[in-house]
């Protein structure tokens, strides 16, 4: 999926000579297949991997910390469905991006 995403970025951002991507240290971003792809497209894509644990460098961590403080810590939900509902309501009111759909849980059902 990550390689497909990189292809889509190269296609969508054709007018840019170099695309810089900042990623976490997940295996899907650092695999040998990704390394080969990046070598082949080194003139167009620069991948910058954050340190293994760097919450201060990754702005999304602030969202997760706040979500944890406001919703998941000490909640009194009776089911995962109820907790997910609270989470998506919280995200829809506080994030600059629109939450589309529910989650992997909904798709699996």
Looking at residue 47, what is its pLDDT?
92
For each of the chain's 109 residues, which pLDDT tens digit applies? Answer: 999 999 999 999 999 999 999 888 888 898 999 999 999 999 999 999 888 776 777 677 778 888 888 888 878 889 999 999 988 888 888 755 555 554 333 333 3
What would the pLDDT profile of 72-84 be if each residue is shown by its tens digit? 887 888 999 999 9
Assign 3-class secondary structure to the chain. Answer: CHHHHHHHHHHHCCCCCCEEEEECCCHHHHCHHHHHHHHHCCCCEEEEECCCCCCCCCCHHHHHHHHHHHHHCCCCCCCHHHHHHHHHHHHHHHCCCCCCCCCHHHHHC
Looking at residue 71, what is its pLDDT?
86
């Amino acid at each position: 999926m990550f390689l497909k995403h990189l292809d889509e970025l190269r296609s969508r951002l054709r007018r840019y000579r170099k695309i810089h991507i900042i990623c976490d240290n997940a295996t899907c971003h650092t695999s040998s297949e990704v390394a080969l792809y990046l070598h082949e497209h080194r003139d167009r894509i620069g991948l910058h991997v954050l340190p293994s644990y760097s919450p201060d460098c990754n702005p999304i961590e602030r969202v997760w910390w706040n979500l944890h403080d406001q919703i998941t810590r000490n909640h009194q939900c009776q089911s995962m469905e109820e907790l997910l509902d609270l989470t998506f309501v919280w995200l829809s009111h506080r994030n600059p991006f629109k939450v589309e759909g529910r989650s992997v849980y909904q798709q699996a059902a």
